[in-house]
């Protein structure tokens, strides 16, 4: 079967989407959903706590880090002038485990 050169990117994209549709649900089955069952301090509470400490900052990223024990919310904040704040908040108790500022 002959496919014009212009159709290769489209075919590649369709193949990639097909593979994602097949394999992604299995990869995510144990991912975020079951992990959140162990969390009592929500992402909203973690964000509010971080912003209460630094009201002039903006949130760049929040993620639940499952490699750590205990589970922690890792929060990156950005503040003027050129200050980055890294926080870690215990996802069960809400205790601030890390609170560091870096100039960049």
How do the domains of the chain map onto residue ranges?
Answer: 39-103
Chain-centroid distance, C-alpha 13: 25
**C-alpha span between 21 and 27 (Å, rounded):** 11
Q: Which tokens hold the place of 92?
A: 């069960």
- What is the pLDDT at residue 81? 86
Average pLDDT for residues 70-91, to the nearest whole number?
94
> Which pLDDT tens digit goes with each residue over 9-56?
555 555 555 555 665 554 444 454 577 788 999 999 999 999 999 999
Diameter of the chain measured on Cα atoms: 63
Q: Which tokens hold the place of 102?
A: 């870096």
- What is the pLDDT at residue 26? 45
Q: Which residue would you say has higher pLDDT here, 56 or 6?
A: 56
Please name the residue that has the structure tokens 């503040």. 79
Q: pTM of the prediction?
A: 0.65
CATH architecture of 39-103: Roll (3.10)
Average pLDDT for residues 75-104, to the nearest whole number?
94
């Amino acid at each position: 079967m002959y496919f014009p050169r212009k159709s290769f990117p489209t075919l590649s994209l369709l193949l990639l989407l097909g593979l994602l549709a097949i394999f992604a649900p299995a990869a995510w089955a144990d991912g975020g959903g079951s992990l959140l069952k162990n969390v009592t301090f929500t992402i909203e509470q973690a964000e509010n706590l971080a912003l209460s400490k630094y009201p002039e900052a903006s949130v760049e990223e929040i993620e639940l880090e499952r490699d750590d024990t205990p589970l922690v919310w890792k929060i990156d904040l950005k503040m003027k002038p050129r200050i980055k704040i890294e926080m870690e908040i215990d996802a069960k108790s809400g205790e601030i485990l890390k609170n560091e500022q870096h100039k960049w």
